[in-house]
Amino acid sequence: RSIVRCAQTVFDVVSHTDPVNRRKTRILEVGPFLGNVSVALARLDFQVTVIDLGEFLSCERLQRLFDQNEVKYSACNLRDYSLPFEDESFDVVVMCATIEHLNFNPLPMIKELNRVMEAGGLLYVTCPNLIKYDNRMALLSGKSIHNSIDDFFAQYDPTNNMIAGLHWREYTASELREMFERMGFSIN
């Protein structure tokens, strides 16, 4: 993720939360990548927890970064459709550039996000736009907009450590809206 996108995410979350109760605001970030957003929010006095694949969270550098900034972390595979948190554990759920990497039906996971988020909380989701200009131009010129078939073979190879990275499914804004609304979220 670019620093500009991370800064925009932090700005948006701060803008949509109560500054008086910031220390009480519980944030869950799903798929924190290098932890930039989580650490920035923790340094702004939010209570931050992250979940990611155990393979990513086992990185000692990332663990040190989270520990130094009081970011709680929990290994979790979203494919299991079960998050290790009580109902309504978080006021804010952040999921940036994650949903497009899921190679399974995201609806049960979205239901879980709704379960762990406080009623009336903030869900902040970003992902690449399927119908962006570059994709439309590629299609018009007869090229695929998807990862190459070689990427599938690289991930299939047991000697290759390619856990994630592929965009299995990108979405349009209306598709995201429809999925999240039908799973119980209100979109403002």
pLDDT band at 150 (very low <50, low <70, confident <90, very high): confident
63: which 2 tokens? Answer: 């663990």
Q: What is the mean pLDDT of residues 64-82?
A: 96
Looking at residue 51, what is its pLDDT? 98
Closest CA to 92 of 35, 8, 16: 16
Taken in order 149, 150, 151, 157, the sign of the CA dihedral is positive
Taken in order 186, 24, 127, 11, the sign of the CA dihedral is positive
**Contact at 8 Å (CB) between 1 and 36?**
yes
Looking at residue 185, what is its pLDDT? 93
For the chain, the average pLDDT equals 91
> Three-class SS of residue 15?
helix
> Distance between CA atoms of 33 and 10, rounded to whole angstroms?
15
pLDDT band at 87 (very low <50, low <70, confident <90, very high): very high
> Distance between CA atoms of 68 and 102, rounded to whole angstroms?
29
Res. 117: pLDDT tops 90: yes
Q: What is the mean pLDDT of residues 178-186?
A: 94
> Distance between CA atoms of 31 and 17, rounded to whole angstroms?
21
> Distance between CA atoms of 98 and 168, rounded to whole angstroms?
11
Looking at residue 188, what is its pLDDT? 75
Q: What is the mean pLDDT of residues 148-157?
A: 80
Helix axes 36-43, 60-68, angle to 10 degrees: 20
12: which 2 tokens? Answer: 């948006």
pLDDT band at 50 (very low <50, low <70, confident <90, very high): very high
Angle at 11 between CA 7 and CA 17, to 5 degrees: 145
The residue among 74 and 162 whose pLDDT is bigger is: 74
pLDDT per residue over 15-48, tens digit each?
999 999 899 999 999 999 999 999 999 999 999 9
